[in-house]
Structure 1
């Protein structure tokens, strides 16, 4: 039987070789080269992290938070560089969700 760590490393290499992963890397490089897109993405990620922390503390996002996140989402949709990045991430996330189901399947069997 193969060493489980060897299999995990092989999976990592497989993910990095996916065209969808390469597209995310390319789109991220475009964001890093575009100050406006980078600032907007950083703002969005920071805000999203704040919402996550609120929810972890048992607080629901306020109406103002929901309006703010919708506004940021609209700005991201309007920015072609960010829109392409989000679309690329979504395509990659399909693979990652499938892999997660496979990897955690044995743990689900224990419940």
Structure 2
């Protein structure tokens, strides 16, 4: 019997979307969009994170100023229940994603050994 991996992948996608953890991330994201303070904080965080990623990809280290900004944003996020709820929900969902990645990539890792 031949297994259609595309059907399995589509079934997995539907399963992920049905997870309560996935729905919690969606709801938390909607809550950020509805809260001007949380939305502004989120936008600042994303911009700062992108800036640091660009630096790292070009082989540069973030400046002390950049590091201080990320620390400040982290503290602000901890103090903002709406954005913190989003990060907490993402963390819970990431447990599933890590397990799924491990399962999917095991056969490929076996080929490399």
1:77 and 2:78 aligned:
yes
Q: Give me the CA root mean square deviation.
A: 1.0
Runs of 4+ with >6 A deviation: none
Q: Give the whole-Å Cα distance in 2 for the aligned partners of 1:54 and 1:26.
A: 32
Give TM-score scaled by structure 2 length: 0.93
- Consecutive unaligned residues of structure 2, counting only runs of 5 or more, are none
Count of equivalent residues = 111
- Consecutive unaligned residues of structure 1, counting only runs of 5 or more, are none
Q: Give the whole-Å Cα distance in 2 for the aligned partners of 1:21 and 1:110.
A: 32
Per-residue displacement from partner, 1:61-97 (whole Å, max 9, x unpaired)?
Answer: 2221111101001011101101111100000011111
Moved more, 16-25 or 60-69: 60-69
Counterpart position of 1:21: 22
C-alpha displacement of 1:107: 2.1
Give TM-score scaled by structure 1 length: 0.94
C-alpha displacement of 1:104: 1.6
Counterpart position of 1:110: 111
